[in-house]
Amino acid sequence: MRTGSRAGARRRGRWIRPACAVVIAGAAAWAAAPGVRAATPDSTGFVQIDSVFSAAQSPTIHPGDWIGAGYTFQTTGAHVAQVVTFSQPTLWLQVECQNTDANTGPIAGTVQIPLFGGPYPTVANAADWYPFTSTPAVYTDGFDPLTYQGNLQAPDLCSGGTEWVNAEVFQANVGSTDTTDALHVRFHVETTSGAIDCGNAVQNAAPGVAGCGSTWAGQAAQSSSAPPVSSSLTANPSGPGFITISGSMEGDYKFNSGDWIGGGFTFQMTGAKPAQTVQFNGATVSMPVSCASDSSHTIVGTIVIALSGGPYSTTSGASDWYPFTGPHSDSTYNDGFDPADWQGNEQAPNLCGGGQMEDQTGATFAANVTSTDTTDQLMVRFHYGPHGNPGNTVDCGDPSQNTPAGAASCGASWSGTMNVTPGPPSPPPSVPDGIPTLLALAGVGGAAAVTRLTRRSRVRA
């Protein structure tokens, strides 16, 4: 468990003091930004919260360990019942190798964690922090798996060595059916859970297991003055390396509320096959859902599963399908079973009043692909499911549950392949230097007025 401290927040002789951001935005259409940036800074409901660490304060991560990240929000003002959606919520971790001086050494890489965005319905007059399991008292604050909306295993950015987290950046565009009252928003990141996926309620059982109780970053007051935004497409169709693939490989796919469902992708090099680093930005799998009891098969909602997108490092000349579990090749698991290929997994929501749900039309995968090789194409395929539903209790992305050569319920058929020419890598959001500052862009007559947070310390709510 990480905790912040006043002593640990000292940096270059200055205190990092908590600040807050207020975003007051007019009605404007939301659009996905190109490249690796997820949320849209000049659009409605934009929020950014940063955490910067001193050398003594920097969290450490190890390759293969689980990293969990997420957010909560609290209603303010009239506390009206509303439906809140976080579009393109994303966490970036800026990483250095431990054999360098934290915050002054070279950046080894950036880990991007896409987060599930809701929608989240609230109750009138509630003072709770949403989302939560059953009631807020079930889990200790900071432990609830529903507040770990994104979970992935740490990549190896330091040749097997320990990695330092220099800074964290959370971004999202927030929409709500209440466009008057602000929302309080906070985020957290857990880097010490080891083999435990903190977003998995089976592994992280109430009131919360050791290693899954991360400290909240300071709050930002966030106006939600945009209507609810669809998160069904988080990739940017106009951006570089855009790819979308549709398929109905699972046929009439049935599942129950609470069943584990997921999606994922693999890619294979073509052409000269140079060693490269590949990133899938804004990757999602979308499944339209109807109720099995409805003979007309009316669509009642779309489940959008956010997928972790890498980065993935390849070996020159390799013909493997990446990513894979194992040191040398993709043969550790049966094809379609590998937890590394289930980059997004969640427990199904209740869209049919407790009844069985079904997907009769198939699913759609979308992403913006970038690579250090922008000449040679990549072959991409995706899957969803898995076959084990209804009644699947296994998180197929968890290697402790889905062990070699693959849990019986974790197989799924691959789509056809599609080639894509990757775009160039884009830099992550920058973490501003200096003491906390509020930068205000005045808005007039419905234009956006944005006050951005910079340089936060970690504080308990």
What gap in Å lies between CA 320 and CA 459, rounded to an integer? 44
- b or e along 47-56 (b: 16 or more beta carbons within 10 Å of the residue's beta carbon)? bbbbbbbbbe
Three-state DSSP class for residue 341: helix
**Residue 23 above 50 pLDDT?**
no
pTM of the model: 0.54
Three-state DSSP class for residue 339: helix
Question: How far is the CA of 453 from the CAs of 10, 85, 87, 120, 175, in angstroms?
Answer: 18, 21, 19, 24, 19
pLDDT, position 32: 27
Higher pLDDT, 445 or 53: 53
What gap in Å lies between CA 450 and CA 73, rounded to an integer? 19
Highest mean pLDDT among 211-225, 246-260, 300-314: 246-260
Higher pLDDT, 427 or 281: 281
Higher pLDDT, 396 or 6: 396
Sorting pLDDT into bands at 50, 70 and 90, what band is 363? very high
User: DSSP letter string over 165-206?
Assistant: EEEEEEEEEEEES--SSEEEEEEEEE---TT--TT-TTTS-T
Residues 164-203: tens digit of each pLDDT: 887 888 888 888 888 888 888 889 999 888 889 999 988 9
Farthest-apart Cα atoms in the chain, separation: 68
Beta bridge partners of 184: 74, 221
Sorting pLDDT into bands at 50, 70 and 90, what band is 448? very low
Sorting pLDDT into bands at 50, 70 and 90, what band is 134? confident
Residue 74 CB coordination number (10 Å): 19
Highest mean pLDDT among 157-161, 257-261, 317-321: 317-321
Higher pLDDT, 444 or 112: 112
For residues 289-317, give the mean pLDDT. Answer: 86
For residues 8-32, give the mean pLDDT. Answer: 24
Average pLDDT, the chain: 76
Q: What percent of the chain has pLDDT over 70?
A: 76
pLDDT, position 99: 66
CA atoms within 13 A on the CB side of 291: 10
Residues 27-45: tens digit of each pLDDT: 222 222 223 334 666 566 7
pLDDT, position 451: 22
